[in-house]
Structure 1
Amino acid sequence: MASDEAGSDGGGDAVRYEVTAAGVAVVTLNRPDRLNTWGSDISSGFYSAMDRAEADPAVRAIVLTGNGRAFCAGAHLGAMATIGDSLGGEDADGPDVSKIVGERHPHFLTTLRKPVIAAVNGACVGIGLTHALMCDVRFAADGAKFATSFSRRGLIAEYGISWILPRLVGLGAAMDLLLSGRTFSADEAARLGLVKDVVAPDRLMAAAMEYAEDLAAHCSPASLAIIKEQTYGDAERDVVDASARAEKLMGESLLRPDVVEGIVSFLEKRPPNFPVLQEGL
């Protein structure tokens, strides 16, 4: 497993980056002393790691997790205090919250061409929850706790969580979680459909990696990229447009070698050998 670190602001280990021989990039938020709370050091390292995984043709799936007792326990309060200093000042545009969030909003994860699997190892709160929900599939450790928390901090449903949460759990459950800001368990998250599986903490990474490695070994990178774009894009389209676009994409897929390899490998009862993801899909 190749390993590297990414970060800024003098914190070169804010995010760890590793790639396995199976083609899975593992991105680890690495500020366990502050429960991996989101700040500029983590955000810059996170974007760098995700860009690196997206650009690497050897990477076919990404696993995102946290080091220590938390996945990401919300925004770094020290950074929040700095932002708060600008309240009531002369800046007509208000506080610069981008100093916390960074250059991109969490929904950029939905635009990646490669599947992103969250391995939620502990507290997953606020912007940490938003990032986890923007991943494509989630596993959680037994005992992990979740919360939106925004209403209990005088905040609003931030950075796309009001878009993604109702699509995952339905409007009624989303309103409960957003309005109350209450803490809920990994088991409840599974019942609501927020996480695929709840596993013992010492099995979490194995479960997430097994899933990611199965995608890497048996799924066409082109198919994964297009299915992601379809699924998130179709949320904004009506069924007629979505169906017509799917027909067009199906015709294009039949021209790629992935289809031949998928069928032949199935008939020959062997693992597929799909080509790497090409630019322009």
Structure 2
Amino acid sequence: MSHEDILVETGDRIATITLNRPDKLNAWTPAMEREVREAMEAADCDDAVRVIVLTGAGRGFCAGADMAVLNTIRTEAGDRAPRPLGTRPFDVSVPPDYQTRYSYFPAVSKPVIGAINGPAAGLGMVMALYCDIRIAGADAVFSTAFSKRGLIAEHGISWMLPRLIGLAAALDLLLSSRKVGAEEALRLGLVNRVVPQAELMTEVRAYAADLAQNVSPRSMAVMKRQVYAAQFETLAEAVAVGNREMAESFRSEDFREGVAHFVEKRQANFTGR
């Protein structure tokens, strides 16, 4: 499938989706929105893919919404707020919270790793936060940006950001729109790891390869679903879900293989079943 604003590469059980407008710091466009979702859906349905990596071409991850698009919205809307675009559910079996226009990453059954290679601002920061794991290069810079555009905390960042870094820190970043470098992002909990810029994709691919080759894809899918669903559950409900899922795991092929490869001291051969 040909794409206008992204690149997709699949190999070694890893699908790499690259935002590909490097001359614009990969500023977000309607075409990019559509293509990223299509690529995520394709990777989620592909049994040969076990991990998804999202990154940006050139020296930026995503500088936010393309300013030309924002200016068109302002000009066409006048005093009227633009009507949000409708989006069909990514997966109707997950909570409705993960079925909105941008919050569908948690509904993807496979791990989504954000390789943050440069500026991630506004909508670009939102997309980075929806990744399950974020590994940043030393040149990564984060900014909510919204308050300096006369906008608000959009697309669920008001829900996601406090859960990652706490209420006070989230308000700081939202109200000020100040820039946060990679090391501060690590201290705040915005990213899981910071690596030298030149080694970013090597480190990300090594981590993704470990997930793809050495752990059960069934376990990853179930655990990801558990963690995101638990955001709306009581502890007792999460325990009950865990007990039910553990019983199902005992009946799975991956459980039998998990025990067998450990006992036999060999490479695992998980099937996801």
TM over 0.5: yes
| Contact 2:116–2:135 (8 Å) recurs in 1 | yes
Q: CA deviation at 1:88?
A: 3.3
| Contact 2:28–2:62 (8 Å) recurs in 1 | yes
Q: Does 1:79 align with 2:79?
A: no
Amino acid at match of 1:241: E
Amino acid at match of 2:19: L
Q: Does 1:114 align with 2:100?
A: no
Q: Which residue in the other structure is 1:15 paired with?
A: 6
Moved more, 23-32 or 176-185: 176-185
Which string of whole-angstrom CA distances, capped at 9 and with x for unpartnered residues, describes residues 116-136 of structure 1?
000001000011111111101
2:77 aligns to what SS in structure 1?
Answer: coil
Which string of whole-angstrom CA distances, capped at 9 and with x for unpartnered residues, describes residues 224-281 of structure 1?
111111101101111111111111111111111111101111111222111146xxxx
Amino acid at match of 2:26: N
| Contact 1:5–1:15 (8 Å) recurs in 2 | no
Q: Identity of aligned pairs, percent?
A: 44
Q: Does 1:98 align with 2:94?
A: no
Amino acid at match of 2:49: V
Amino acid at match of 1:249: E
Q: Does 1:250 align with 2:246?
A: yes
Amino acid at match of 1:23: R
Q: Does 1:65 align with 2:55?
A: yes
Amino acid at match of 1:219: V
Q: Which residue in the other structure is 2:96 paired with?
A: none
Amino acid at match of 1:98: L
Tell me how many residue pairs correspond in the alignment. Answer: 261
Alignment partner of 1:239 out of 213, 217, 235: 235
| Distance in 2 (alpha carbons) for counterparts of 1:41 and 1:269 | 48
2:198 aligns to what SS in structure 1?
Answer: helix
Amino acid at match of 1:236: F
Q: Which residue in the other structure is 1:266 paired with?
A: 262
Q: Does 1:126 align with 2:122?
A: yes
| Contact 2:8–2:16 (8 Å) recurs in 1 | yes
| Distance in 2 (alpha carbons) for counterparts of 1:84 and 1:111 | 32
The 4+ residue runs of structure 1 with deviation greater than 6 A are none
| Contact 1:32–1:69 (8 Å) recurs in 2 | yes
Q: Which residue in the other structure is 1:219 paired with?
A: 215
Amino acid at match of 1:114: K
| Distance in 1 (alpha carbons) for counterparts of 2:117 and 2:38 | 22
Q: Which residue in the other structure is 2:33 paired with?
A: 43
| Distance in 2 (alpha carbons) for counterparts of 1:88 and 1:125 | 25
In the superposition, the TM-score normalised over structure 2's length comes to 0.91
2:258 aligns to what SS in structure 1?
Answer: helix
Structure 2: give runs of 5+ residues left out of the alignment. Answer: 91-99
| Distance in 2 (alpha carbons) for counterparts of 1:80 and 1:127 | 12
